[in-house]
Structure 1
């Protein structure tokens, strides 16, 4: 499935937000006391973790497909995506990372 670069950025941002949620829950619930988490806490954390895992997998697949479709090395697409997610746009062609 072909993806646009903007779709890749949106997917990566969604995965990053899901990862932040997992870290927030872990910190809130105290990872040292994980064996003592309530059933609700454990279910909430596991649901968030699965969502993050699935979103991250979707990003990897989409980026690989995009790189293949564009005929560009995967590492270049990943670098452009990282730049776009953190700076709001991909780097200009001919610049480092672009």
Structure 2
């Protein structure tokens, strides 16, 4: 979902519905895992927006 949102952000087509869906999913995951929402969101964004290069 975050990858789709990131693609939409880059294309200038992000919808409120997509942004809300991502936020709800992040919030739910954080609550279930006991982690701070901010930490979950930042880790997800880092993973999607700045992926590690694939090993050769």
Output the TM-score relative to the length of structure 1: 0.47
Rounded Cα–Cα distance in structure 1 between residues aligned with 2:33 and 2:22: 16
Tell me how far apart the structure 1 counterparts of residues 49 and 6 of structure 2 sit (CA, whole Å).
11
Where do 5+ consecutive residues of structure 2 fail to align? Answer: none
Match of 1:14 among 4, 8, 27: 4
Residues 1:77 and 1:62: Cα distance change in structure 2 (over 3 Å): same
Q: RMSD of the TM alignment (CA)?
A: 1.7
Q: What residue is the counterpart of 1:56 in the other structure? A: 19
Distance 1:17 1:87 in 2: 13
Please give the alpha-carbon distance, in whole angstroms, between the structure 2 residues aligned to 1:78 and 1:20.
18
Between the two proteins, the alignment pairs up a number of residues equal to 52
Q: Is structure 2 residue 36 aligned with structure 1 residue 81?
A: no
* Residues in 2 aligned to 1:20 and 1:71: alpha-carbon distance in whole angstroms: 31
Structure ID, larger Rg: 1
